[in-house]
Amino acid sequence: MSIFKRRHFKYDIIIWAVRWYCKYGISYHDLEEMLSERGIQVDHCTIYRWVQFYAPKILDKLKWYWKPTRGYSWRVDETYIKVKGKWIYLYRALDQAGNTIDFFLSTTRNSNAAKRFLSKALSSIPAYCRPKTINTDKNPAYGKAINELKLAGKCPPDLEHRQVKYLNNLIESDHGKLKRLIDPTLGFKSMKTAFATIKGFELMCIFKKGRFDAWKYGQGILGEINIITHNLLAL
First-to-last C-alpha distance (Å) of the chain: 7
Average pLDDT, rounded, for the chain: 94
Name which of 88, 116, 121 is nearest 103 in CA terms.
Answer: 121
122 falls in which pLDDT band (50, 70, 90)?
A: very high
pLDDT of 74 higher than 80: yes
CA distances from residue 203 to 55, 83, 126, 148, 187 in whole angstroms, order as listed: 8, 20, 20, 30, 19
129 falls in which pLDDT band (50, 70, 90)?
A: confident
Helix, strand, or coil (residue 69) = coil
| CA pair distance 35, 195, nearest whole angstrom | 25
Q: Tell me the mean pLDDT in the region 202-212.
A: 95
Helix, strand, or coil (residue 101) = strand
Helix (H) / strand (E) element for 76: namely: strand 73-83
User: Between 67 and 176, whose confidence is greater?
Assistant: 176
Query: How confident is the model over 94-112, as pLDDT tens digits?
Result: 999 999 999 999 999 999 9
* Share of residues in the chain with pLDDT > 70 (%): 100
CA distances from residue 97 to 29, 43, 105, 219 in whole angstroms, order as listed: 36, 40, 23, 24
The answer to whether the pTM exceeds 0.85 is yes
Query: How confident is the model over 32-54, as pLDDT tens digits?
Result: 999 999 999 999 999 999 999 99
pLDDT confidence of residue 67:
83
Taken in order of first residue, the domains within the chain and their CATH numbers are 2-62+212-233 (no CATH), 70-179 (3.30.420.10)
pLDDT confidence of residue 173:
96
pLDDT of 125 higher than 60: yes
pLDDT of 1 higher than 70: no
